[in-house]
Amino acid sequence: MNLSAGAIKLIAGIGGLVLFIILIVSIASGAYNRAVGLEENVNTSGSNLKNEEKRRADLFNNLADAVQAYDKHEQKTLTQVIEARQQANGGNVEQAMLTLAAVVEQYPELKSQKNYQQAMTEFSITENRLAENRKHYNNDVREYNRYTRGFWTRLWLGISGYEKQDFSYLDLKTTE
C-alpha cells in the first residue's frame, strides 16, 4: 500500500492536531489540578485557624474558672467574670481578656495561683499559634491568588471551567 504525498501530509496534519489537542487538555487539566490543590491548602489553613480560635475560647473559659474559683463569694468578681465569658462566647476574646485582667488586678495574689498561671501560659501559647496560623493562611491565600491570577493560568483555568475562589487575607493581629 503506497500512500501519496498528500495522504501523508493529511495524516501528519491530523496527528499534529491530535497531539496539539492532547497538549492543550494536559496543560489545562494540570492548571486545574494545581488550582484545586492550592484551594485545598487555603481551606485546610482556614480550618486549622478556626480550631485554634476554638481552643482559645475554651482556654479563656478555663482561665475564667480559675479566677471564679479563687474568689467565689464576692458578687462583683462573679459578675465581671460572667461578663467576660459572655464577651468571649460572643467571639470578642480580646475584650474579654481586658475585662478579666481588670478582675485579676483587684486580686494580685491570684496571679500566683497554679491554675491561673497554667491557664495564662496555655493562653499565651495559643495566641502565638493563632498568629502563626494566620500567617500560614495568608501565605496560602497569596500563593493561590498569585497562581490563579497569572495570564496563562487564567486562560487554562477558563478553558477547564474552573471557578476561581475569592479568598481574603486576614489581619495578622486578629480575625474578629
pLDDT, residue 174, reads 54
Please give the residue that has the higher pLDDT: either 82 or 34: 34
Measured distance between the N- and C-terminal CA atoms of the chain, rounded to whole angstroms: 77
What is the pTM for the complete model shown? 0.70
> What number of residues does the chain have?
176
Long-range contacts of 91-97, Cβ-Cβ distance < 8 Å, separation of 24 or more = 91/176, 92/176, 93/56, 93/57, 93/60, 93/176, 94/174, 94/176, 96/60, 97/60
Task: Read off the C-alpha cell for 37.
Answer: 490543590
Quote the mean pLDDT of the chain: 84
pLDDT band at 71 (very low <50, low <70, confident <90, very high): low
- pLDDT tens, residue by residue, 17-66: 999 989 888 888 888 899 999 999 999 999 999 999 898 888 888 888 87
Question: What cell does 142 get?
Answer: 497569596
The answer to whether residue 75 scores a pLDDT higher than 70 is no
From the CA atom positions of the chain, what is the Rg in Å? 29
